[in-house]
Structure 1
């Protein structure tokens, strides 16, 4: 049954919700994947086409989630949608997955990336400075300077989120504004005073992939898909957004559109700075671009700016993630203590602390393992959520958004087809991690069946309308 006690307040403005969406999207992907796309595609036209395609898919997902969020304006995101569509077992599994793979793991990965960029100035924080290591590959664990700084980062941001969502939202708006300002400055200076070359946009390079180009485009979309992840962030805090029927769709669409434009412009600067041949396989693409545009000394400045961007992303996920656990626990589908809200600060303190602890533990693994695990597990439930529209639209009283109804059911079908292909792709390229993800999801279902089978189906709270 639904637990009683202090509830969350509608105190997040449209601008704060947009800031959360933007910060959840602008993270490690845009600063690391361009070199891999250059290596595998080899053609500037395809390079920009794949980023544009990724933006379109993200916008389609945001539109579909907007309709879901308008009809279920309560915190929890996919947990709420899938519980209503397919039953409490599916709802618990997506909430369980969001807690671990959707937020705790990305918080850990982004904090490790933040530490690595800080390592430009303080080498002790670099990933290769490991004091203790055990295992290899997927199963390796390690402790070093990066893990220490990453845990400290998670701790500081967590404390900031405990004392009221307005403070966290204010911090988020500040960090997001600072992040967008420094990126905008880099873009403007890079295209005006940077020593780049417009001829780079017409210079192809030899592909290093043996996969046929048509198939490679689909495979490379995986990198872009992960880079755009986070477009659904506002649905997780719908219960705290002012006037959610109006502001939730706006937050999703404005945030996703801004990031799509931002990614395209940033990639223009990357290619203007260096041809695809020089970008091939380079993970620290921002440092490469700034070095070529302004000189090696400025590369350090851009590393600091990327660190700020990553810190903003950590704060956004620490703010959003615990609301999923709160929504589950309030319905009896998670540990009851996670449903508690501090009576003074009106924040889900136990849920916030739970996520922080799990994220700190996950910093002990490696970045590649985290990235593969995150990408495979999250895509599946996004597809399930969009597919639920076909069930919900049969219900009387369902509010249909005009953009989704346009050419219905084209938009959700496009999203589902792309997402289903991504799941198959994950199973074929990294079967071990895919197996771990499947076992993890299955463990959640088993835990629910044995411990929480009597949990009630989610019902809207008094603040939902």
Structure 2
């Protein structure tokens, strides 16, 4: 790549160990969603057998997707991750559109969404006024962006600390759920939804796969893996198995204490579990736990998201200032700053709607699943377009495996357009504006 195209003479170095990569991926995926989606899955399945099957299928579909990503990351290792794969398969225009979507919708929206979860759970503990959640969310973005600007090693070190705290809390939920006998009186006071449940496995899988979302962030750190990009296969597989095991344990705890009918009626299964086992101190504890879970995901998402901004600046002259890599800190500082500013703007937008979390879900979902589908298709395209490229790992059962992956993404794209609000149209509009912007800056 020529300097005239905005490439910095500096480039990412392999500084991440395999454990660092696993920590980042698990931290992105296992967040606050596991304390919200089980009730939705329970209401959509109706039986504990189907409920647990849905979570097992979620792990299986994620593993299939991870195998597709493993071929892409080992064949085309690059800090740009998905951006680089789409560039190779569909060219500069489509790759630019994806980078634009990451900067303006997908990654920054995810950061804002997760930051809002932190704000929503800390606010009951200490109120900061009318816009308390938004203020907390903004502070989270500012502080964690600063942490990652300090450097990759410091950023992953902070991630390990946050993840250790989060896993301690998750372990506590599992122990309480399996070993503590619930209070019969408190349990009887919880509402039930026995008549409102149904056997809609397809709808349940929408919530399950959304909870599993985030493992694809491995593509953005493949070039920084100290053991080499070939080890990314092992990193992905280990991460998926760890995530699936965690989800099964957590859901098993919810199921034992609350049962299917009370889970389906709950808006906060973690709070209800703690209320009927440990009382109000447990409720306070789960609030801190969920905030920490979201905080962990925010940190990992900020770390990986800035890598796309860096790739955008590296390849397009108009954004060259984003493509500067700082060897001293092993981080793209300008890309991190730009990402933080956009995330703060989205937090402000959410504050104006007074429903920041839901607004960010609507805003990001359709665009996210559209490009996820494109990644699956790019595997097939690159098999035909570059058949002689060295492939240290090939996805098994090709082309069945990528077709299953693409089918899952298509279904989730359809669902995200059918079941979300006006925010989805805003996200699509921002994406279309990026197409126009490409021709202006070309």
Per the TM alignment, residue 414 of structure 1 is displaced from its structure 2 partner at its CA by: 0.8
Per the TM alignment, residue 280 of structure 1 is displaced from its structure 2 partner at its CA by: 2.4
Change (3 A) 1:283 1:11: same
TM alignment of 1:63-212, pairs within 5 A: 63-122=67-126, 124-125=127-128, 130=130, 144-195=131-182, 206-208=194-196
Q: Distance in 2 between matches of 1:375 and 1:207?
A: 30
Aligned to 1:349: 333
Q: Do 2:120 and 2:133's aligned partners in 1 also have CA atoms closer than 8 Å?
A: yes
Structure 1 SS opposite 2:395: helix
Residue 338 (1) aligns with residue 322 (2) = yes
TM-score, normalised on structure 1?
Answer: 0.86
Q: Distance in 1 between matches of 2:228 and 2:374?
A: 23
Q: Distance in 2 between matches of 1:182 and 1:334?
A: 45
Q: Distance in 2 between matches of 1:101 and 1:255?
A: 26
Q: Distance in 2 between matches of 1:403 and 1:306?
A: 38
Structure 1 SS opposite 2:304: helix
Q: Distance in 1 between matches of 2:320 and 2:77?
A: 22
Per the TM alignment, residue 206 of structure 1 is displaced from its structure 2 partner at its CA by: 3.1
Structure 1 SS opposite 2:221: helix
Residue 262 (1) aligns with residue 252 (2) = no
Q: Distance in 1 between matches of 2:415 and 2:17?
A: 39
Aligned to 2:374: 384
> Residues 115-170 of structure 1: CA distance to partner in whole angstroms, max 9, x if unpaired?
12112321x15xxx53xxxxxxxxxxxxx011111111111111111111111111
Most deviating of 108-117 and 341-350: 341-350
TM alignment of 1:24-63, pairs within 5 A: 24-63=28-67
Aligned to 1:7: 11
> Residues 366-403 of structure 1: CA distance to partner in whole angstroms, max 9, x if unpaired?
21111122222111111111111212223233344667
Change (3 A) 1:51 1:401: farther
> Residues 395-430 of structure 1: CA distance to partner in whole angstroms, max 9, x if unpaired?
23334466722x222211111112112222223233
> Residues 340-361 of structure 1: CA distance to partner in whole angstroms, max 9, x if unpaired?
1235323211110111111111
Per the TM alignment, residue 2 of structure 1 is displaced from its structure 2 partner at its CA by: 5.0
Change (3 A) 1:3 1:107: same
Structure 1 gap segments, 5+ residues each: 131-143, 198-203, 453-465
Residue 292 (1) aligns with residue 296 (2) = no
Aligned length: 425
Q: Distance in 2 between matches of 1:25 and 1:305?
A: 15
Q: Do 2:313 and 2:321's aligned partners in 1 also have CA atoms closer than 8 Å?
A: yes
Q: Distance in 1 between matches of 2:281 and 2:21?
A: 36
Q: Do 1:120 and 1:300's aligned partners in 2 also have CA atoms closer than 8 Å?
A: no
Structure 2 SS opposite 1:74: coil
Q: Distance in 2 between matches of 1:89 and 1:95?
A: 10
Residue 396 (1) aligns with residue 387 (2) = yes
Per the TM alignment, residue 61 of structure 1 is displaced from its structure 2 partner at its CA by: 0.9
Aligned to 1:432: 422
Change (3 A) 1:431 1:288: closer
Change (3 A) 1:48 1:71: same
Q: Distance in 2 between matches of 1:343 and 1:332?
A: 21
